[in-house]
Structure 1
Amino acid sequence: MKVSRFVFNMFGVNTYVMWDPESLEAAIVDPGMIDQAEKDALDSFISRNSLRPTQLINTHSHLDHIFGNTYIKEKYGLEIKANPADDFLARTLPEQAARFGMRLPLAPQNLDVELHDGDTIYLGKEPIEIIAVPGHSPGSIALYCPESGFVITGDALFPGSIGRTDLPKGDHATLIDSIRRRLLSLPDETVVLAGHGGETTIGREKTANPYL
């Protein structure tokens, strides 16, 4: 599995494109494009690499991670896949934006395919394991690719930090428990691809993350 990172919108969200080099099937994770230039950047990458987007996945449904959902859904004919516990966030996207003082032409969203803890989806022949990591939001999930040795953690775990829990239905104790039980149990060499910022490893966070 190959993966590339794009940094989009005013929140600096990491949007990931994962793809199988044999079939060229691709998954777009947390599309955060807010304007045409960002949409063009993602589309150009997909076109240059002859990728075939087959999946649209949200690690969670806070506004910065789903700005581009509708565009990707319509452009590539994909269904929005996410955990249903975050459906209330997707449905209130305009209200989320208003809380940040943003006046954008945003419409409520609805997920199309539910992803639950323990589910396995595939990109080409490679499995992607769905791991529930609630706390930052109730429906936060991580995408673990054991054969390629990386996990996309959304806003649960960052290099040297953890996700905020002061947004609606966030819970600090739940987040700490999720990280310790569900993420730090992965192999130490697993590369962590977070929702913001750079990458790290599970082993590094075990020993050096002051929040854990």
Structure 2
Amino acid sequence: MSRLASAGTLWPEITVLERGWLSANSILFAAPAGAAPAGAALVDTGYCTHAEQTLALVHAALDGQPLARILNTHLHSDHCGGNAALQAAWPQVHTAIAPGQAVQVRDWDEHALGYIPTGQQCPRFRVDATLEPGSEVSLGGRPWQIHAAPGHDPHSVILFEPEARLLISADALWEKGFGVVFPELDGEDAFAAVGATLDLIERLNPATIIPGHGPVFHHLAPALATARARLDGFVQSPLRHARHAAKVLIKYKLLEWQQIDQDGLQAWFETASTLVQLRTRHFSHAEPGAWLATMVDELVAAGAARREGERIYNA
């Protein structure tokens, strides 16, 4: 599911493309009157299997205006998977990414970028610049602050417009949580970085939050309370986070496939080194096939998947 979300209290230049969970939300900024040189800009571009849909949504929202800029809050495949298609449609589009991985993009190192280890796809795209924390970028004719937001991804940034107190929070804060803390899956300590980013968001005190997934929301305090409670649970039990992350990665692939048989899922699992290492690090007592079946069973029990014989379906 994708839809044009109501701008609500946002100004007219902003269109929020609220996407299904396989794709991140996209935020489109039309060029305001008299600001044509800056052109229209799109923050985050969805997953590659939704590229045709992304193009259609952006074309419809722009209503003939060219796309001048792409900005990526971070380079997870659901946030930048539409870059290549948009660059093909608008060859002159300028693409700026969160700092830290420009070399890997230019060399197209799919291992370092995490696409091969997670078993996900992302067509090669071009990078022209980086979004440097501590600086500003003009969007919709207004200056937006760029802030580093490590935790979910060590290179992620968030964007804040202080006059309207409007925050593009990416996966650092959702209305009911935040994204998987990927550095933890590689054995790095990153829960403290999640907490520091939540503290930063609290200091910014946004009145309106456009998250990476889910609807625009306006109530910061309960969202922070929910996120901090979840973070505390993960800090107390890293195993809980590992189990959650495994199911998220499997569910994400089910969203892409829609259905797969057990053998196909097992074959994919064996190529997704992030999952293999996660199981080895946290669940080494369990035989790989049985552990994978248990993760699927838990998704089924939660209503996030269903089984019919040997086939597993997204739900």
| TM-score, normalised with respect to structure 2 | 0.57
Structure 2 CA distance for aligned equivalents of residues 148 and 20 of structure 1: 18
Q: CA RMSD in A?
A: 2.8
CA deviation after TM superposition for structure 1 residue 89, in Å: 6.3
- Does residue 69 of structure 2 align to residue 55 of structure 1? yes
Q: Is the 8 A contact 1:138 1:170 kept in 2?
A: no
Distance verdict in 2 for CA 1:124–1:30, change over 3 Å: closer
What do residues 18-53 of structure 1 show as CA deviations (whole Å, max 9, x unaligned)?
235434642101111533233222212212xx4443
Deviations 1:108-153 (A, max 9, x none): x453112111111113531111011111112100011123331111
Query: Structure 1 or 2: larger helix share?
Result: 2
Alignment partner, residue 203 of structure 1: 221
Structure with bigger gyration radius: 2
In 2, are the aligned partners of 1:9 and 1:64 still within 8 Å (CA)?
Answer: no
Counterparts of 1:152-163 in structure 2, within 5 Å, are 152-163=168-179
**Paired residue for 1:183?**
201
SS of match in other structure, 1:177: helix
State the match for 1:139 in structure 2: 155
Structure richer in strand, relative to its length: 1
Give runs of ≥4 in structure 1 deviating > 3 Å: 7-10, 86-102, 167-170, 206-209
Change in CA separation of 1:75 and 1:58 when aligned onto 2, cut-off 3 Å: same
Task: In structure 1, list runs of 5 or more residues that go unmatched.
Answer: none
Matched, 1:192 2:209: yes
SS at structure 1 position matched to 2:55 = helix
Identify if the C-alpha distance between structure 1 residues 85 and 33 changes in structure 2 by more than 3 Å, giving closer, same or farther.
same
CA contact 2:77–2:122 (8 Å) conserved in 1? no
Gaps of 5+ in 2: 1-10, 232-315
Letter aligned with residue 31 of structure 1: T
Q: Are the counterparts in 2 of residues 136 and 170 from structure 1 also a CA contact under 8 Å?
A: no
Deviation at 1:173, TM superposition (A): 1.5
SS in 2 for 1:74: helix
Match of 1:113 among 129, 141, 146: 129
Q: Distance in 2 between matches of 1:139 and 1:96?
A: 13
Aligned to 1:74: 88
Q: Decide which of 16, 20, 24 is 1:13's aligned counterpart.
A: 24
Relative to the length of structure 1, the TM-score reads 0.81
Cα deviations by residue, 1:30-88 (Å, 9 ceiling, x for unpaired): 111533233222212212xx444332100001111111112223323122112221336
Q: Compare relative contact order (CA 8 Å, sep 6+) and give the higher one, 1 or 2.
A: 1
| Partner of residue 145, structure 2 | 129
Identity of paired residues, percent?
21
Q: Which digits, 9 at most, give the CA deviation of each residue in 1:163-205, with x for residues without a partner?
A: 211355782221211221x211113x52111111122233332
Matched-pair contact (CA < 8 Å) for 2:198–2:224: no
The question of 1:38 aligning with 2:54 is answered yes
Does the CA contact (< 8 Å) of 1:84 and 1:111 recur in 2?
no
CA distance in 1: counterparts of 2:136 and 2:151, whole angstroms: 22
Tell me how far 1:8 sits from its aligned partner. 4.5
